[in-house]
Structure formats: C-alpha cells, structure tokens
Copies of this chain bind each other. A is one copy, B any other.
Amino acid sequence: MTNHPTSPGPVPVLAPDQLKRVHAWWRAANYLSVGQIYLMDNPLLREPLLPEHIKPRLLGHWGTTPGLNFIYAHLNRAIMERDLDMMYIMGPGHGGPGPVAAAWLEGSYSETYPNVSQDAAGMKLLFHQFSFPGGIPSHVAPETPGSIHEGGELGYALSHAYGAAFDNPDLIVAAVVGDGEAETGPLAASWHSNKFINPARDGTVLPILHLNGYKIANPTILDRIDRDELDGLLRGYGHTPYYVEGEDPEQMHQDFARILDACLTEIREIKRRAREDGRTERPRWPMIVLRSPKGWTGPAEVDGQKVEGSWRSHQVPFSTARDNDAHRQVLEGWLRSYRPEELFNETGAPVEAIRTLHPEGTRRMSANPHANGGMLLRDLRMPDFRDYAVPVTEPGTGAVESTRVLGEMLRDVVTRNMDNFRVFAPDENNSNRLGSVLEATDRAWNARTVPEDDHLARDGRVMEILSEHTCQGWLEGYLLSGRHGFFSCYEGFVHIVDSMFNQHAKWLHTTNGIEWRRPVASLNYLLTSHVWRQDNNGFSHQDPGFIDHVINKKPEVIRVYLPPDANTLLSVADHCLRSRQYVNVIVAGKQPQLQFLDMPSAIVHCTKGIGVWDWASSDADVEADVVMGCAGDVPTMETLAAVDILRSHFPDLRIRVVNVVDLMRLQDDAENPHGLPHRDFDALFTADKPVIFAYHGYPWLIHRLTYRRTNHHNFHVRGYKEEGTTTTPFDMCVLNQIDRFNLAIDVIDRVPRLQGTSAHVREELKNKLVAHSEYIRVHGEDMPEIRNWQWSPNQPSEETTEEPV
C-alpha cells in the first residue's frame, strides 16, 4: 500500500562549494553546541583542553541538537535562495544549544545580548552562560532569539506552528517534531490541524518529523514501525511524506537539500493554485521525515559503549570530562573534529564563508519578527461594548443568556479585525451561546463538506476541533506571533490544558523580564457551562478548580473575573481583549439568568472590580450587622435571594452586599499588583462583622486570598464541595449548601443579635430545604417559587434604622 516516489536519487543539488559551506555552517553550529554544554573557558581550543576549562556541572541535551542544526543550515540556504519569510519551531526544544548557536552565528544573538559578542570573548561567555547559574536555560526558552516555543513540556510544536501560520499568508513555519514528542497526545492530535488551514489566506507549516530513534531511555514508536505503517500514518494525517535517511553527512546534505527544494516548490505551487486558480480542495501538504542518528557527529563510543546513534546521547554523552583524562581526551577530539580553526577567524568571529551562509536582517530565523510577536501587534479595533448593553431597569430581573450577549460583541470584534483575531473552542462555540459570531464568519474547515453542515468555510475564523490541547496550542501560537484571540471552554474540562497554561504563564512571566521581548496580547479564557449548571451532564463535568490552578502562578501575569451578569461580562471582556501579557480567566454561565446592573453601573463596578451593591444592602449610613459577599453569577443570585428572605423575616437587619468581579481585588496590594489596600478592604468587609461569602468555586480560595485581611477570621465561605450530579440547578446549590436558605441560615447562625431570637425562622428555612428536595424528586424540576424568583426592590433604607428583632 505504500510507494516511495521520492527516495533519494543520485542527482546532487548542491554544488561542491555550496556543499562545503553548508557543511561548514553545520560544523560550526555543532561545535558551538558542544562548547555550550561542556566548556567554560578556552572556547576556541587555542590551547590544550584542561580540567578547569570544563564546567563542574555538565547539563544539557546533545542528542537532538545536531539534527536541529542540520535542518537550520538547510533552511537558511533555502531562505536565501528563495527569499523566504520563515520561522523555526523546534519540538525537541531541549536541544537548546542549537538555536543559541545559530543565533550567534547569524549575529542576532550579539545584537540582542551585546555582551555576548561575535568574538572569542563573546564565545567564551556564550559557552559559560549555558545552563550555568545566572545564565540561560538548557532548553529553548523565551531568552532564545527567534523562538516562540518553550523547550520544556513536549507536544505543542505543530499546534504552535499552525497558530503562527494562521493569517500570515506568506510565512512558512518549519516545525520539527521529535519522534519522542510524537508519542504525546497533544502532538498526535495536532497533525490534523491541516484541515483548518487555508492555502490562500494562511501561511504554511512544513512538518519535519525527526526520527532519531530514541527518547531518554526507550526507542520511539515511530522509528520502530514498518515503513508502510509510517507512510500510511503520515498520509492519513493529510501529508505527503518525503524521506531523508542516513548518516553520511555528504549524502544527507544532498538528499535533504533536494527534498527541501521539492517541498518548497510544491508548497509554492499549492499556494499558487489556491490563490491564482481559485482551487479549493484541501491540498496534501508535503512534509519531511529525517531519519538520522541521535547525537550525530558525537563520539561513536565511550568506554566501549555505543553513544552516537544510541539513547546514551540523549543528554550529556559522558559527564566526567573534568576529572577523567581519557574522557577529556574524547571531548577534545570530538570538538576538534569540527575543525574550529577553519570556522572562526583570528578574533573568534565566524569566517566569511559561514557569515555569507545566513540571510540578513529579519530574514534570519533568529530575528524573524513573527517570533517576537509584540513587535507586530496591532491594537484590536474594538466596537463600543456599551452598544450591546442589556437594558436593566430593575436589578435582579430578566432572564438573559449572558454569553449570548457577549457573542454579539465578539461577532463585531471579528468583523472589525478580519486579519488578526480568531475565536477558539473545542466544538463548543454554539453550545457556549457564542453563536452570533457565526453571523460574521464561519468555522474554519478545509475538509469535505455536505449540505447539512452549518457555517463551515475555508476562510472561517472560528476554530473548532474537539481537542482542548489543539485549541490552546493554536491560540498560543497565534498570540505569540502578534495577534489576538478568545478561547471558550467548558469549565469542567479546561483542566485538560492545565499544564499548557503553566507553560504559557511561565513564558509570559519570563518575558516580562526580557526587555527585547515586546508585550503580546493576553490569552483570554471564557469558562462556561460551569459547575452550577450541569443539568445535562452531572458530576463528571463539575470542577471549578482551574482558578486555583491559575492562581498558583505569579500574580503579575494572571487575572480572574467572575462577572455576575451580561453587562459586567461585556465590560470585563472588553478589558481583557485590550490587555497585554496576561492570562485572563473569565467565568460566566450560559443559562438564562437574572440581570443586576445597567451598563453605567456595570462599568463602575467592573472598574473597581469589587464593591457594595447599595440597592441590595440595608445598612445605609449605619454599621452593618453582616456582610454578604458573593463572586460568580449563581452565588450572586443565591446571595440576593437570601437577602430577600432575611429582609422578609428581619426587616431591621442591616445587611451589606459586596459583589466581587475581579478576584484579585481580594488580595492586598503588597501581595498582588491588582490587590485592594487594606483600608479599602476593611471599609467594604468591616473589621469585625461576620462575612458570609458565596463563591463560585472551591471555598478555600477565598480564605487564601483574604488571609492577610483584618476581618479574615470572620469569613465564612460557601462554595463547591464536590457534591451533586445530574439534578436541577437549585438542587446543585442545595447539595453544596450555597443556596439561599442555607446562606440565610448562615447569617442567622453568625449574627449575634439574631441568635436565640430566630430559632423559628431557622426551622422554617430548614423545612423549605426539605420541601424543595421532595418537590424536585417528584416533579423533576425546581419549585416555581425558586424558578421564578426575582429580586424585589428594597424597602427604603430609613426603615432599617430601628433596632432589629
């Protein structure tokens, strides 16, 4: 079932001089890579290698590096010959020495870090700093010029590459996929990204599957399946694979050059057909399979054990070069095998033949502005979010799907930014009630369609694939290359990308400290279909803990918003879409819900992020008996319903309602740049009154955030405690004791003036809870008084000045 039409033929593509120079570039990059791993002095080997030239702690990954360098050399030749706009994404990003070496050879490293100059002193520093305290990480990192792809966790090379390629019609993203990485789920899923790319509008991803055979200790699956299987797999992913296999450098140079030329010509033709001939069928994009030895050009054997071509090359092939004379000799021989004296001139700079082998300026992959996306970032053209306001004449009325309202705004954000904004969702855009977006654009889709399909198009801007990993990876690539986006996801399943969030947040945190990295647009999550409304799905879909996960990262890069209704959601979303260098998490329900604030009030409230809702409070001009705090739409509704109940029983009870939109405001300004000063916080929550706080998520987070507050020991927090399954919305609240009756009981139990005098009310509320449970188990829905509850306006506050019962 296979054919190999492109197995290497005998015709050389590179002229002898060209071959020699490409090979020299590769030798130089390899030399500099080994130097980074091993040396702290004597960088040009102008004296014999001594123990003190070698780092005391040898850290780094050699195995994948020569392959990365080999590809780099060839891409450079192609960029120059064809004047290509090209980025390089290294899936096996633990091969950090490679791109650092390349950037130094291209001069961009010294432009970025002038002290690491292109001479002997700079080379010494280049070597010394690598994996050294106070230096640079051993992986590809934000510090690496030309990279948008952290070399830590594996699996995101292709999704990042596609994210960068979207809406960059002339960009080619060469993406190396390691054969270890290829075993990860996120990578395995992301191959199908080619069903979502439009050759007429988008750039191109050229995957290069690097089969070097081993992971840390094990062989790789893709290296050990039969050729017909591998070929079928890659064709099944939608590619036409071309193979370059071997270990003889000369032959491999010729083969890779020929195959790369063929692929680039094919890509050009695909794009020409799409643009000029208007061809719309999904192309089968070319890709390259490079099979080369792990640790290629490294020592063949050390102490009689195979190293080159073995898993022993994965990290530092031998680590006793400082103390062991024989090993140091192996190292010196290895380094000298690259003939550094031919590669670097008197001053230590690359010789002319090497310096003419890379492109200039922003054509250098290490200086491509797409890899420092903030340089290209344009502000979104935003509609006025106030235009989408839901009319709210009385707070606590209405039945609006807030995310549907947001969808209307997002629709117009799309319309105004048809080249640098996309929305992402794992097959949930409509389920999350953002369907209005489809009035402005379609879902991106480049595979077969049938008449019943809904809003699919090759140039759609709604990115839907049933893979949270791929959505996240696309969005990260899109943002890091200088564009904007919005990711909506079921709250319960966003944990699928916990680890990807980690890596992105760490990237942002690190880039905050790197001057040449320009700020990029924030990564905006809308978490909906949230824990309190899983009528259809139940226990497995209930987990509000993404917020907890997010808050473990540095406060400088994360924000969490819980808008209680549509107008606050609009205001928050507008703010997030304009922001830079954050991960913004917005949590908002998609079900019809009461509306509380008209737009002017919403703007004031969201600007402060936290505030007293006077219209719901009864403590005007006097001291409150109790503060009822709330964060999240359902907790807010239940809090107000509890206030309603309490008012009817205790007309003189002085209740203050504080709603929190911006969760970070709960922390103090010393801990968190967005925190509220203690004085302001105390003014809201008092210094000594009971606080009953209804929170959307796991209750402990509120204690954590308010831990340093004066009145913290009076905080009593209700939230999700892993109770409930397929049941009614109100029953979910009851099962987790965040419902109106339990909140009212909490107040009765904690306000001293109510204790002893209100046992009958407490009993009545308990009976309500029992009645509710009986009702829904018979009728299958909430009691009408619950379903139809709306806020009834306050009595004038004058009446509350009397003594309470």
Using a CB–CB distance below 8 Å, which chain A residues touch chain B?
Answer: 1-3, 40, 55-57, 59-60, 94, 131-139, 141, 150-155, 180-181, 183-192, 195, 215-221, 224-226, 228-238, 306, 309-311, 315, 427-431, 443, 445, 447-450, 452-454, 456, 464-470, 492-493, 495-496, 498-499, 502-503, 506, 509-510, 535-541, 543, 545, 548-549, 552-554, 698, 700, 703-704, 707, 722, 725-728, 731, 776-777, 779-781
Contacts and interface: CB of A to CB of B under 8 A. Distances in A.
A552 B235 CA distance: 43
A238 B187 CA distance: 18
Nearest to A551: B700
Nearest to A213: B450
B137 A452 contact: no
Contacts of A707: 700, 703
A340 to B, nearest CB: 23
Contacts of A464: 217-218
Given A151-B540, A230-B236, A553-B722, 10 more contacts: A1-B231, A133-B727, A136-B726, A137-B538, A139-B538, A152-B540, A188-B188, A219-B447, A219-B449, A548-B549
A55 B728 CA distance: 13
A190 B538 CA distance: 26
Q: Which of A55, A495, A553 has the most CB of B within 10 A?
A: A495
A443 B141 CA distance: 33
A726 to B, nearest CB: 5
Contacts of A155: 185
A703 to B, nearest CB: 6
Contact of A537 (B139, B498, B506): B139
A497 to B, nearest CB: 9
Contacts of A454: 217, 311
A185 B183 contact: no
11 contacts: A57-B535, A139-B538, A141-B540, A152-B492, A153-B540, A185-B467, A217-B454, A229-B235, A231-B232, A233-B236, A553-B722
Contact of A219 (B188, B445, B495): B445
Contact of A185 (B229, B237, B306, B470): B470
Contact of A183 (B192, B315, B452): B192
B221 A195 contact: yes
Nearest to A315: B536
Nearest to A725: B137
A152 B539 CA distance: 8
Copies in the complex: 2
Given A236-B234, A447-B224, A496 B153 contact: yes
A502 B506 contact: no
Given A57-B535, A218-B427, A224-B449, A466 B181 contact: yes
A499 B541 CA distance: 10
B225 A447 contact: yes
A221 B447 contact: yes
B540 A548 contact: no
B133 A493 contact: no
A449 B311 CA distance: 13
A189 B180 contact: no
B445 A137 contact: no
Contact of A150 (B1, B59, B238, B540): B540
A464 B219 CA distance: 10
Q: Which of A431, A454, A543 has the most CB of B within 10 A?
A: A543
B180 A185 contact: no
Given A56-B779, A134-B727, A541 B152 contact: yes
Contacts of A225: 195, 236, 238, 447-448
A698 B552 contact: yes
A44 to B, nearest CB: 20
A182 B219 CA distance: 25
Contacts of A539: 137, 141, 152, 506, 510
Contacts of A780: 40, 55-57, 132-133
B183 A543 contact: no
Contacts of A184: 185, 189, 466-469
A151 B725 CA distance: 13
A714 to B, nearest CB: 13
Nearest to A182: B466
The 10 closest A-B pairs by CB, nearest first: A233-B236, A152-B540, A185-B185, A232-B232, A188-B188, A495-B499, A224-B447, A185-B189, A183-B466, A232-B236
Nearest to A153: B493
Contacts of A781: 56-57
A347 to B, nearest CB: 26
Q: Which of A180, A427, A469, A727 has the most CB of B within 10 A?
A: A427
A1 B453 CA distance: 29
Contact of A465 (B137, B183, B447, B776): B183
A727 B57 CA distance: 10
A224 B282 CA distance: 11
Nearest to A61: B536
Contacts of A496: 153, 498-499
Contacts of A468: 184
A180 B431 CA distance: 15
A131 B234 CA distance: 42
B728 A133 contact: yes
A769 B149 CA distance: 34
Contacts of A453: 219
A495 B370 CA distance: 29
